[in-house]
Amino acid sequence: MAKVRNNIFVRGLSGSVGDQFVMKQDRNGRTIISNSPTFKENREFTEAQLGQQEKFREAVEYAKEAQTQQIYINKSAEAARTPYNVAMADFFHAPEILELDVAAWNGAVGQVIRMKVMDDVKVAQVNVVITDGTGAVLEQGAAVQSDNRWWNYTTTATAQDGARVIVTARDLPGNISVFNWD
């Protein structure tokens, strides 16, 4: 992408030139020039496209409500975006469970299982479920955030070999990610 600085020809220019290209300004005052969009009048949408359109409608509803939350206002100050745009983007991005640290856990009560979880805005909740080899739940509960991206869960039950740890992370819009450890 070419970057032109302080060009008097395009500075502040907006609108379109025929059906060839469109010029607009972004929030930072930069002039964006792009091809004009084209659409077929009688186009038919696929199921996937209709599903994405519905998800976008839900994101708009969420962003309208969430844009007044202080966390979105603070995040928007860090970037050249509005709180509404930050909330829209957050709606489409689920949290990521980057790492599961079970080095300090051997199945005994009172040991800590650590999870490294991140989200583009905020991880709202991390839960842990520990099952035995047959899938029966031995224990479950909420992890506690210990520092920036790390969450800790202290075990309350004894687990034998073959135990499975299932970690779920949720962000503010309600997106959920799941990580399984056998």
Same domain, 86 and 104: no
Joined tokens for residue 139 = 């224990």
Same domain, 163 and 102: yes
> pLDDT by residue (tens digit) across 39-98?
888 889 999 999 999 999 999 999 999 999 999 999 999 888 999 999 999 999 999 999
- Asked whether residue 6 is assigned to any structural domain, the reply reads no
Burial call 4-34: b when 16+ CB within 10 Å, e when fewer: eeeeeeeeeeeeeeeeeeeeeeeeeeebeee
DSSP classification of residue 120: S
Joined tokens for residue 155 = 């075990």
Mean pLDDT of the chain: 91
CATH number at residue 168: 2.60.40.1220
- 36 band by pLDDT with thresholds 50, 70 and 90: confident
Cα atoms in the 13 Å half-sphere on the side-chain side of 30? 10
Domain extent, residue 108, equals 96-181
Same domain, 102 and 122: yes
- Asked whether residue 30 is assigned to any structural domain, the reply reads yes
pTM reported for the whole predicted model: 0.79
Joined tokens for residue 31 = 């002039």
The confidence score (pLDDT) of residue 3 equals 65
User: Which are the contacts of 166, defined by CB distance < 8 A and separation ≥ 6?
Assistant: 128, 129, 130, 131, 178, 179, 180, 181
Domain count of the chain?
A: 2
Cα separation, 131 vs 109, whole angstroms: 14
